[in-house]
Structure 1
């Protein structure tokens, strides 16, 4: 509990004294002079007894108190308004403030002593404030009554009754205002909320108090014996007040209880404990609260001698204890404390369990990607994180993988035991970590194999990159071979190291590991510390050379290679046509290369194009695909089914200066308009700084051929492509389409792409659409067209021609049905 500021208390006390003096002077002036006010209408002795009776009335009114909710704390309401009505009628105005001061002082001093015996301590400053505040309210009240209509020693008139009511209201507002300041300063909370809550709580009581005061005045004026009937009536009225205030207090308390228990639902132990402490203070009026958990952890205030201690138990298991200090007698709130303790115990138990599960999950996640012995990444982490690092590198940047294997490691286990072997592996892991750079990815693959992925090689050619990687590998091997002492035995273990260097984007980490493993075994079998990858000694590379020879034969024969075609469909509204549905028209057809190998079976482009791109066959293969695709498009056009055909063009093909002339010659041979050819180019190629590629793209655009950005969003500067180059179409990568419903980031990328393309007047085609929900979402975003198994799978040319004719007939029937055909 915060102490009431001393300056504020002193100010209220001084105001009380000044108000009493002002009331004595100003109010007394209405009777001619202050001295005359003491003797008007009765002898001095009679006036003395009247004054003592008035003090007694104030004492009785203050002793009959009711506890009421006030903001974050509580206050006491009394019968002060009824006492003021009686005092204003029975005493000269100048004596009323002094009667209030004396009566309130006596009553509150008695209450102060009674509270001290019950263990509830109130400071002298609180007592002084209570007396001063009510004296100020009483002085303001008598001043208001006298200003409107003096009522002392006069028959009550309607104006006099109105003056008494106004005086009671002034007393009510001033007293409530000062008490609200006190409560908000001591207990916290806003002054406005506390003041409004107390005004509404006592409004009905004020009306009853004024009525009771007027009845007492009427009974004294009519027949004093009637006063004997008032005590039971006033007692019943007091009980009614009490029940009404308790109901209101219980309703607010249970509302606070619901909010406090709802606020306990935290997944963090600290947050749950702090919420429990805040709620306990608010609900039970505690000055201090502390939660002590079974494990010894504690939260909240220091509580030396808790007035209330509640065990927090869930299912027979003790979670901790709740200590409260400065709590008034709970009485009927014992059951609330029990319920709150159970709710807090459950919340803490859930939070502790959640913390344990979170720690377990973090540990499991850590263990899933780390080697338990050395703390380095394991093979799984090397593959996933290594591929991620390769994807972040610019295409063509040199990267290296260093793979090392400790020679004759079994000798350590056989001679010193597996514990010593583990210590050797830990020492090697530390040396690998010390020798690596900040950007290196370090991993223990298992047993005595370690790997280092190096991505910060300086560009300058393959030979320079390989030399730098080999030098790093030699230093690493030398550092590992430095003698170490294990169990008092000095030993040195030398590794065999394999090095492979490749361009980022050309291979994945699995391939790098395979090549590094070949190099490492070359070093081990050759008796040298370091060896680098030699493609000539790679059986898989020999197989690739055979693949190139077989492709050359396939191009010459022309029977094994074929094209499959997959349409892109406009995402317009779906309209019913005689029991069927008419989807959007086919906007373009993508040509997909297939190879029916006589020995290997059916091969997709990804299985042979990486080999072809590094050979001289890329040009002839591109020419074959263009020739075949344009021939098909020309046939569709002659049949009245003009549809653009899209062909994927690689970076290697765009580097050939004669490509525009080849395209122009083929378009002329088939008499096909240039706009019916779409070249799909990846964004990384379009962003190439090669002047040859820039020149080739510019010449192709001058022919009238359309350009499309393929696999948009998977590169490094996606949106730059749309503003830098004159493209007509954007194809959103299937990965983002598949993840739209699950990943907000993917949906945001698609939305941003569609919005930007619309502003640039570009078509947007979404790849890999397989579900109606994806189609609806893309159409709602404004995507132009879509391609995927939901509409059409890749199909043979004959099947596509049939589909085009069928859709043309359906569209004609639709136009006739609409009355426009």
Structure 2
């Protein structure tokens, strides 16, 4: 607790002196002989001497303070005494003007004696606190005397008339309230808590003592005025009352103390050593009322400070393990209860500190283990495992398509260093190279030593500006890195220079993982070594063993086997919009004539992949059949749901050449149509013209069986083959889709425009639908409508939409169509 300020003590002491001076002035102004007469009226054992009466009053005041009880309140101690009984006696036996100086003498003598007694046990309060206590009691006694003076009008009354009893009781209550107020002020000023938190326990614990003290004082006054022999019964009665007070206050304090102990023990549960020690120091000061405490751990670490003087030490141990020592300011506790509490608190603090120290050691060990698991022990750079793990995380965090680079370097002829200078010198060379690798990189780079004399740098901050610019930037960084590493170094007094060979691999984020980038950079690095060049970059044309395709197929197999709710594969659907009819004049087109199902792959590491990024690899593998089945089932299920909702629209699915070579394809389609109750004529299979012109008997057989099911066929990317118009007469198709390349150039180049016009004319004469792909502006739409093109597809109308988005479009279209029919009077 903080010591009382000199200003507060001085103010209270000055007020006490002024009250005493005022009382003495009032006493001298009384009529001559009135004081002697008043004192002679109150006689004990027929001893009327004025000095004896004054001395007796001072002794009463002193005894009332010597018989005290200590109560812990907040963070400090409150001392409850028999002051109310003494005030009743003094005010009943002495003139009010004499009470303040007599109180000052008696209270001062009591506190001086207590200070001497406590000093022998190292429990003495500071002198300023004793001065504050004496001054506060004197002021309280002066206020009580004022009450009596006001009630009696300056006269001295004999006996205990009701008016006198009331005045004495009021004086005792005023004294009580004043002393409580000064006590609360002292504890608050010393940082012991709030006014409410301190005053509540004091008032609750001392009200009964107030009543008993006032009753005891009145009884003594009555005995003195009746018969002095009755006073012989007072000491045992007062002793019994004192024991009763002590037991009552002790029970209350015990209850509060152990509740406070439980709260303090909870505060010890800290995982940090410093926090646990600080909580222990604060708890010890709070529980034991000491001014300072210190925790000294077994390792020599110390928390808290102690002033010079007596000290109480409590060893802290958990079983046979010594944790440290708790040191408290002041001498050893003299009560068994305090010693028991100190022992219990010490055990709790020892356990908390032991847990905190153990947690700290485990955390340090875990951090060390984690560091060793990801760091190269020689250079401190990341090791191969950390590069792969952290590198893949960084790649996944980059936006898809953003260029990244991996620089892989190998020190040329490093073995010569070990042979000539020894392995210790070789290790020093590797450390120097590691520092230069770090210095040459940027903050966002990932540096690693892969083992031996191989180092790698993952660069993710290449400037975005196309693949060529990204490769040029990565190669430039590699050359600067090589030059910096090749700078001369001095090892064991020998100047040497080691040049590296660096391989550079650049790829778009999402297109390759770290393993694949390492493989490519390794190929490039050996190309640099073989060519005698400092830097070489990965050339796919010189890579005969790409593993990216194999990894992609394995990942696709997992995607096809994903559980519902964890789907990586999804469908997007792009509507085809009619260009003819009353609604075809708007930019948004007219009625939706069909939708094309487009597969998308939301790869967990590579990001969102378009069909062009994975279908070429799939078409050459055995996964084409399950992937085709997946697309067909999803597309037919979605279209069947729209149909049940009254939003029937044909759905088109692209079928590859490899799928048409599967004889079971017609049975697969038939089973799906039956299971989902979807009309065959509302399913359109889009097949490239090259496949339709195939001379394979299996393809011809599969197409014929598909047509017998009632499924429609469409020629996709029409016009890109060598015999485009031949396919329309050879294969029974119902729809022709003009390739987007011709649509994009039809307004600017005569040949593409002529091909589009010839395709529309021929298809119209053959009774086929014509759908133009890639329509992106109103001019293209207007020209196609003018030529008589049946429908169009492109971003001018709708981009590829998720199923929910397409469903909303179909519902909106149905509402527009109904309003149009109402306007025409058709409904």
Q: TM-score under structure 1 normalisation?
A: 0.69
Equivalent positions of 1:753-792 (< 5 A) are none
Task: Look up the SS of the partner of 2:364 in the other structure.
Answer: helix
Q: 1:694 to 1:505 in 2, by over 3 A?
A: farther
Per the TM alignment, residue 357 of structure 1 is displaced from its structure 2 partner at its CA by 0.9
Match of 1:244 among 242, 248, 256: 248
Question: Partner of 1:155 in structure 2?
Answer: 159
Structure 2 Cα separation of the partners of residues 648 and 386 of structure 1: 38
Per the TM alignment, residue 40 of structure 1 is displaced from its structure 2 partner at its CA by 4.4
* Structure 1, unpaired ranges of 5+: 549-562, 570-588, 596-604, 650-662, 672-691, 711-725, 731-760, 762-821
Question: Partner of 1:136 in structure 2?
Answer: 139
Question: Partner of 1:708 in structure 2?
Answer: 802
Structure 1 Cα separation of the partners of residues 280 and 545 of structure 2: 66
Pair 1:86-2:86 in alignment: no
Structure 2 Cα separation of the partners of residues 507 and 338 of structure 1: 65
Question: Partner of 2:292 in structure 1?
Answer: 288
Structure 2 Cα separation of the partners of residues 393 and 647 of structure 1: 34
Q: 1:616 to 1:566 in 2, by over 3 A?
A: closer
Per the TM alignment, residue 408 of structure 1 is displaced from its structure 2 partner at its CA by 2.9
Structure 2 Cα separation of the partners of residues 646 and 300 of structure 1: 79
- Are the counterparts in 1 of residues 502 and 525 from structure 2 also a CA contact under 8 Å? yes
Pair 1:232-2:225 in alignment: no
Pair 1:503-2:501 in alignment: no
Per the TM alignment, residue 281 of structure 1 is displaced from its structure 2 partner at its CA by 1.0
- Are the counterparts in 2 of residues 473 and 530 from structure 1 also a CA contact under 8 Å? yes
Structure 2 Cα separation of the partners of residues 635 and 120 of structure 1: 93
Structure 2 Cα separation of the partners of residues 360 and 284 of structure 1: 37
Q: 1:591 to 1:145 in 2, by over 3 A?
A: farther
Q: 1:701 to 1:591 in 2, by over 3 A?
A: closer
Structure 2 Cα separation of the partners of residues 308 and 645 of structure 1: 92
Equivalent positions of 1:298-313 (< 5 A) are 298-313=302-317
Structure 1 Cα separation of the partners of residues 471 and 598 of structure 2: 37
Root mean square deviation, CA, Å? 4.4
- Are the counterparts in 1 of residues 636 and 651 from structure 2 also a CA contact under 8 Å? no
Task: Look up the SS of the partner of 1:39 in the other structure.
Answer: helix
Structure 2 Cα separation of the partners of residues 543 and 157 of structure 1: 112
Question: Partner of 2:374 in structure 1?
Answer: 369
Question: Partner of 1:63 in structure 2?
Answer: 66
Q: 1:237 to 1:695 in 2, by over 3 A?
A: farther
Per the TM alignment, residue 265 of structure 1 is displaced from its structure 2 partner at its CA by 0.9
Question: Partner of 1:14 in structure 2?
Answer: 14
String of CA shifts for 1:653-698, please: whole Å, max 9, x gaps.
xxxxxxxxxx99989x989xxxxxxxxxxxxxxxxxxxx89879x9
Per the TM alignment, residue 401 of structure 1 is displaced from its structure 2 partner at its CA by 0.9
String of CA shifts for 1:208-258, please: whole Å, max 9, x gaps.
111111111121222221111111111111111112222222222222222
Question: Partner of 2:99 in structure 1?
Answer: 96
* Structure 2, unpaired ranges of 5+: 43-47, 554-559, 567-594, 602-607, 655-681, 687-710, 714-773, 779-791, 813-827
Equivalent positions of 1:648-667 (< 5 A) are none
Structure 2 Cα separation of the partners of residues 335 and 648 of structure 1: 85
Q: 1:86 to 1:389 in 2, by over 3 A?
A: same
String of CA shifts for 1:275-330, please: whole Å, max 9, x gaps.
11111111122222111112111110144344211211222122211221135744
Per the TM alignment, residue 2 of structure 1 is displaced from its structure 2 partner at its CA by 3.0
Pair 1:114-2:208 in alignment: no
Question: Partner of 1:186 in structure 2?
Answer: 190
Question: Partner of 1:456 in structure 2?
Answer: 461
Per the TM alignment, residue 80 of structure 1 is displaced from its structure 2 partner at its CA by 0.7
- Are the counterparts in 2 of residues 38 and 47 from structure 1 also a CA contact under 8 Å? yes
Structure 1 Cα separation of the partners of residues 600 and 125 of structure 2: 93
Per the TM alignment, residue 35 of structure 1 is displaced from its structure 2 partner at its CA by 6.6
- Are the counterparts in 2 of residues 404 and 520 from structure 1 also a CA contact under 8 Å? yes
Structure 2 Cα separation of the partners of residues 279 and 162 of structure 1: 46
Question: Partner of 1:221 in structure 2?
Answer: 225
- Are the counterparts in 2 of residues 631 and 670 from structure 1 also a CA contact under 8 Å? no
> Larger radius of gyration, structure 1 or 2?
2
String of CA shifts for 1:495-546, please: whole Å, max 9, x gaps.
221111112232222221121111112222333222111111112459969x
Q: 1:41 to 1:531 in 2, by over 3 A?
A: closer
- Are the counterparts in 2 of residues 27 and 146 from structure 1 also a CA contact under 8 Å? no
Pair 1:166-2:166 in alignment: no
Stretch of structure 1 that moved more, 312-321 or 385-394 = 385-394
Structure 2 Cα separation of the partners of residues 120 and 627 of structure 1: 92
Q: 1:538 to 1:701 in 2, by over 3 A?
A: closer
Question: Partner of 1:443 in structure 2?
Answer: 448
Q: 1:109 to 1:502 in 2, by over 3 A?
A: same
Structure 2 Cα separation of the partners of residues 568 and 114 of structure 1: 82
Residue correspondences, number: 636
Q: 1:265 to 1:419 in 2, by over 3 A?
A: same
Structure 1 Cα separation of the partners of residues 636 and 400 of structure 2: 34
Q: 1:273 to 1:627 in 2, by over 3 A?
A: closer
Pair 1:324-2:328 in alignment: yes
Structure 2 Cα separation of the partners of residues 638 and 104 of structure 1: 103
Structure 1 Cα separation of the partners of residues 11 and 600 of structure 2: 95
String of CA shifts for 1:465-509, please: whole Å, max 9, x gaps.
212211211222222223333333333332221111112232222
